[in-house]
Amino acid sequence: MILLSVAHSASAKGAYNPAYSVSEYELSQIMTSSCKSILDINQIPCDVLDVGKMRPYMSYKLNYIRRVKPELAIEIHLNSGNKNADYPMCVYYKNNALTKRCAQIILNNLKTGFEKQGWTKVRLLEVPTEIKGFDNSRYTFVTKTPCPSIIVEPLFISNNEQCKYLLSHGALNSIGEMIGEAILDWHAEKTHKGAV
User: Can you give the binding site for Zn ion, defined by CB under 5 A?
Assistant: 7, 14, 24, 77, 79
Tell me how far apart the alpha carbons of residues 89 and 156 are, in angstroms, rounded to a whole number. Answer: 10
Minimal distance in Å, beta carbon 6 to Zn ion?
Answer: 10
Give 1's Cβ-side CA count (13 Å radius).
13
Minimal distance in Å, beta carbon 132 to Zn ion?
Answer: 22
Tell me how far apart the alpha carbons of residues 76 and 29 are, in angstroms, rounded to a whole number. Answer: 9
Q: Which is nearer to Zn ion, 36 or 77 (CB)?
A: 77
Residue nearest to Zn ion (CB): 77
Q: Which is nearer to Zn ion, 105 or 152 (CB)?
A: 152
Minimal distance in Å, beta carbon 153 to Zn ion?
Answer: 8
Minimal distance in Å, beta carbon 9 to Zn ion?
Answer: 11
Task: Characterize 24-42 residue by residue with b for buried, 16 or more Cβ atoms within 10 angstroms of its Cβ, and e for exposed.
Answer: bbebbbbbbbbbbebbeee
Residue (of 26, 32, 70) closest to 177 by Cα position:
32
Residue (of 166, 183, 167, 172) closest to 33 by Cα position:
172
Q: How far is CA 92 from the centre of its chain?
A: 10
Q: Which is nearer to Zn ion, 7 or 142 (CB)?
A: 7
Q: Which is nearer to Zn ion, 7 or 107 (CB)?
A: 7
Q: Which is nearer to Zn ion, 113 or 154 (CB)?
A: 154
Minimal distance in Å, beta carbon 118 to Zn ion?
Answer: 24
**Which residues have CB under 8 Å from 124's CB, separation 6+?**
89, 90, 92, 100, 103, 104, 107
